[in-house]
Structure 1
């Protein structure tokens, strides 16, 4: 009985680690992107993303444009870095399209 419970716990832990996913959040400013010019920066967080260390300023990344689209996501590479550091360092990527 204990072996079966232990196997179940290991399976649940493995599934929770392997079945995580990336996320994406998009904001449209003004009429949205009018072209395909993109600027990308990483955002730096610690402790599973709870404490920001360095976050991109999307308005500054837009360079004075009035119409642009901001996409913040955790890419595969960001997730890999987070997994390697066991969540101590958790980056995300911000892309501004003008």
Structure 2
């Protein structure tokens, strides 16, 4: 019984400590030429399964033909997701022109 408790504690600790934030990058055209950045939050519910409001990278690029889109879950996004137990799970999209 005591050994089972230790194993379960180790599994729970590892699952908390070894989690990571996801991120993905898309390059449009030749990619970002300058350093001008625009950020916008995307709003999801139920661990990201239900999108409520998702940003449009074309609008964030403001007509630019060459830009890079980076979508990720930042520390703040992850903290909010953890506080709400995954009911609300935001992400951040950054468009660099």
Same fold (TM over 0.5): yes
The answer for unaligned runs of 5 or more in structure 1 is none
What is the CA-CA distance between 1:52 and the residue it aligns to? 0.6
Q: TM-score w.r.t. structure 2 length?
A: 0.94
The equivalences for 1:28-39 within 5 A come to 28-39=27-38
1:22, distance to aligned residue in structure 2 (A): 1.4
Hey, which bits of structure 1, 4+ residues long, moved more than 3 A?
A: none
Deviation larger for 65-74 or 3-12: 3-12
SS state at 1:69 partner = strand
Distance 2:89 2:6 in 1: 30
Q: Identify the residue that residue 19 of structure 2 maps to in structure 1.
A: 20
In the alignment, is residue 70 of structure 1 matched against residue 69 of structure 2? yes
Please, what is the CA RMSD of the aligned residues? 0.9
Look up the match of 2:82.
83
Q: Provide the rounded CA distance (Å) in 1 between the counterparts of 2:17 and 2:61.
A: 36
Which runs of 5 or more residues in structure 2 are unaligned?
A: none
Aligned pair count reads: 97
